[in-house]
Amino acid sequence: MIMLRPDVLPPAVMAELARVQDKIAPFSTEEARAMVEKDLGRPIDEVFSEFGDEPVGAASLAQVYRARVRATGQEVAVKVQRPGALSTISKDLYVMRRAVGVYERIVKRFTAQTTDYQQLLSTFAEGLYTELDFRNEALNASRMRELLDASDSGAGARVVIPAPLLELTTR
């Protein structure tokens, strides 16, 4: 979330937020499996022949598991959104919007500052909601992969973007 607008916060605040963000505990694998089954509409063992017992990475919005697609044998990374992430972020943004309204009235009354904090918060919120849409993320990865493949001259290092499996990708 911090990477949305690093130009807005001072380096010390950014460093502290990064420290806090790096210490996020994973949620249970049982909960992750249940979420995957709900989103895909079938038991996880029908989709994957292997699904990791522990996440290989956990962050503020999601965690990632190593898995193997049953139908193809392909090894994949399965990104699972943190339970309640959407509702928690929506509530937090509502509170922030209310607080920004109060803050803006005070700032305008006592200073000549013209920053539009509501717009700043809207930009931040848009970025957060976009990050929560894994289907959108997969489509963007596919598009970036196409663009890089089309521009590949064969010279030098190559950027590799894994191909998302859109048939197994949900919001």
Task: Say if 52 falls within a structural domain.
Answer: yes
At which of 81, 114, 141 does a domain end?
A: 81
pLDDT in tens, 71-109: 999 999 999 999 988 898 899 999 999 999 898 888 888
Task: Say if 167 falls within a structural domain.
Answer: no
1, pLDDT greater than 60: no
Specify the pTM. Answer: 0.73
Task: Say if 164 falls within a structural domain.
Answer: no
Q: Which of 31-40, 54-63, 152-161 has the lowest mean pLDDT?
A: 152-161
Q: Examine the domain organization and report whether 112 and 123 are in the same domain.
A: yes
In sequence order, the 6+-apart residues with CB closer than 8 A to the CB of 90 are none
> How many domains would you assign to the chain?
2
Radius of gyration of the chain (CA): 20
Q: Examine the domain organization and report whether 90 and 62 are in the same domain.
A: no
Q: What is the residue range of 60's domain?
A: 1-81
Task: Say if 145 falls within a structural domain.
Answer: yes
Task: Say if 166 falls within a structural domain.
Answer: no
pLDDT (0 to 100) of residue 149: 78
pLDDT (0 to 100) of residue 113: 80
Task: Say if 160 falls within a structural domain.
Answer: no
16, pLDDT greater than 90: no
Q: Examine the domain organization and report whether 101 and 77 are in the same domain.
A: no
Q: Examine the domain organization and report whether 95 and 147 are in the same domain.
A: yes
Q: Examine the domain organization and report whether 13 and 72 are in the same domain.
A: yes
Q: Examine the domain organization and report whether 5 and 77 are in the same domain.
A: yes
166, pLDDT greater than 70: yes
pLDDT (0 to 100) of residue 11: 78
Q: Examine the domain organization and report whether 51 and 115 are in the same domain.
A: no
Task: Say if 165 falls within a structural domain.
Answer: no
Task: Say if 128 falls within a structural domain.
Answer: yes
pLDDT in tens, 109-119: 888 888 888 89
At which of 81, 109, 136 does a domain end?
A: 81
- 153 pLDDT band, cuts 50/70/90, is low
